[in-house]
Amino acid sequence: MTVVLSSILLVVFFVVMIAVGFYTRKNATDVNGFVLGGRSVGPWLTAFAFGTSYFSAVIFVGYAGQFGWNFGLAATWAGLGNAFIGSLLAWTILGRRTRIMTQSLDAKTMPDFFGKRFNSTPLKVAASVIVFIFLIPYTASLYNGLSSLFGLVFDIPYWVVIAAMAVLTGIYVIFGGYMATAINDFIQGIIMLFGITAVIGAVLSDNGGLLTACKKLSAVPAEGWSGGAFTSFFGPDPAFLFFVVVLTSLGTWGLPQMVGKFYSIKSENDIHKGTVISTVFAIIVAGGCYFLGGFGRLYADKVQTSASGAVLYDTVVPSMLATLSPIIIAVVIVLVLSASMSTLSSLVLTSSSTFTLDVIKPAMAKKKEMTEKQQVTIMRAFIVVFIIVSAIIAVIKDSHPEFTFIAQMMGVSWGALAGAFLAPFLYGLYWKGITKISVAVCYAWGTIIAVIQLLKSLKLIDMSGCGAFLNYIFKTSIHSGVIAMVGGLIIVPIISLLTRKTVAKDVDKMFDCFEEKVSVPKKSSLE
């Protein structure tokens, strides 16, 4: 029964996704349409595109299982942080100014913004390289968790699941570009909203209701606690929880695939609507995922462990779902696939457009100017390349667990991107005094922190003699990621004040776009 229901839902889902790709292909004939949807995307599509790019299967299966297991119900704070810091504040602080300045500069990608905002081709190219290096392993991580979930229903090799997801995502992105991604994100977002609500209800019902489930969870022992650790307000480790909230919430401000959604907003009114829609979406999806994961320890007897006895976090949520009804499991399969495909489409579109417009196009311009059609063709080709590479990495990781390099690389990708880009982008929108050198230093700061974390995680360097402070910074990729972001916010203004001579000469003209006078209908403003 479960196999039949899941198969039917998957077939319908795939048909709709591909149909949208073919329907929107007329909007992807030039670079502006393919990458930004013509900068005319409405609030619902933009908000859902933002939310579905934010929350993937990594959140539902990996993070919900890991942090729910470690923090209990307090893990819900991570979801609320994602909603109010990663969504509400991001839209409020970055939304309007990003849309205005990127249109004024005619910037289509984050590296393109850096190149034009700071009048520096090297900064643009360097940002493109960082995106290229760290988005591929990040993309590969999206397949995590699919194996265990599909294993609940289908007796098929994992590589088949990866191939199907990669091919179908590639089809609709290649044909329809950003508009296909935005429309499918909206559909996938609806599935995620109803899916997570249904799953939470089913899991709580399976445990006798909310109060009974909380009572059972409060009885689970934790080191240093007499009881109630996993139902306490901030959980058994508040300090680590704080780092998790900061990294997963503030980090979105510096991720190119997230910020890029603001480039395409249609109007002022759409920003206000999009802010509300995106925040509500995050409260339900992110808050719901982490809240669900908080009950993971009730299934401790079903969760798998490694040879050393460590809990395999990717098996926590699947273990919770194994006893549920066939229809709920079928919904979860489509939910997780939706979450993965929506984020995958955003990442490959960001990667391909960045590499084409910021690396290939400038290199080719020395010989011959590329036409719009040629640029779109190259972007489509790189979408295929990025999808294939990420799929291969995911298959290798699943087939050879000893390849820990891949797993560790995924863990530092988020911190590296946010650490390198958050401060330059934020200050670049608001402050005329930021300098080229400060941006370059922040690039180096974010990537060096990430590389050191990676080397330590792989045990290629020994930091035991470096002191307690450094060991705490590099305790996990979450700790180092937060240090990279916060450090960038401090470093950039200090370096800028010391290197004032490298401020872009025409910076005043760039900021004139915010002072441009516009007329609006009376219904929009009484002034």
pLDDT digits (tens, 9 = 90+) for 19-68: 888 888 877 777 888 877 777 777 888 888 888 888 877 787 778 888 99
Mean pLDDT calculated for residue range 483-497: 94
Mean pLDDT, range 284-300, rounded to an integer: 90
| Average pLDDT value over all residues in the chain | 84
Between 352-361, 394-403, 441-450, the lowest mean confidence (pLDDT) is in 394-403
- Cβ neighbours of residue 322 under 8 Å, at least 6 residues apart? 152, 302
Specify the pLDDT at position 90. Answer: 93
With a CB cutoff of 8 Å and minimum separation 6, the contacts of 417 are 130, 131, 134, 135, 138, 251, 254, 255, 256, 446
In this predicted structure, the answer to whether residue 406 has a pLDDT above a threshold of 70 is: no
Q: 345: pLDDT confidence band, cut at 50, 70 and 90?
A: confident
* Residue 393 in tokens: 């990495």
Say if CB 314 and CB 145 are below 8 A apart: yes
Q: Mind listing the pLDDT tens digit for each residue in 241-271?
A: 999 999 889 988 999 888 888 888 877 778 8
User: How confident is the model at residue 149, as a pLDDT?
Assistant: 67
What the chain holds in terms of domains, given with CATH numbers, is: 2-363+374-399 (1.20.1730.10)
pLDDT at 374 over 80: yes
pLDDT at 147: 63
Burial code (b: 16+ CB inside 10 Å, e: under 16) for 497-517 equals eebeebbbeebeebeeeeeee
Write out 307-329 in H/E/C secondary structure: CCCCECHHHHHHHHHCCCCHHHH
Which of 8-17, 102-111, 419-428, 514-523 has the lowest average pLDDT?
514-523
Given this model, what pLDDT does residue 162 score? 83
pLDDT(489) > 80:
yes
pLDDT band at 504 (very low <50, low <70, confident <90, very high): confident
Rounded distance, CA 471 to CA 452, Å?
A: 11
**Whole-number pLDDT of residue 146:** 66
Q: How far apart are CA 317 and CA 306, in angstroms?
A: 16
pLDDT at 34: 83
pTM: 0.87
Read off the DSSP letter of residue 59.
I
- Chain-centroid distance, C-alpha 338: 14
Q: What percent of the chain has pLDDT over 90?
A: 25
Q: How many helices (H) and strands (E) does the chain have?
A: 25, 0
Per-residue confidence band for 403, with pLDDT thresholds at 50, 70 and 90:
low
Q: What is the mean pLDDT of residues 203-224?
A: 87
Q: Pick left, alpha or beta for residue 92 (phi over 0 → left; psi -120 to 50 → alpha; otherwise beta).
A: alpha
pLDDT of residue 249: 92
How confident is the model over 461-483, as a mean pLDDT? 83
> Which pLDDT tens digit goes with each residue over 93-125?
998 899 889 888 888 889 999 999 999 889 999
Of 118-132, 214-228, 384-398, the range with the highest mean pLDDT is 118-132
Query: For a pLDDT cut of 70, what percent of the chain falls above it?
Result: 93
Mean pLDDT of all residues in 75-101: 93
Q: Which residue has the tokens 């508009």?
A: 179
Asked if pLDDT for residue 420 goes beyond 60, the answer is yes
Mean pLDDT lowest among 33-42, 140-149, 291-300, 424-433: 140-149
pLDDT at 394 over 60: yes
pLDDT score recorded for residue 484:
93
pLDDT at 151: 66
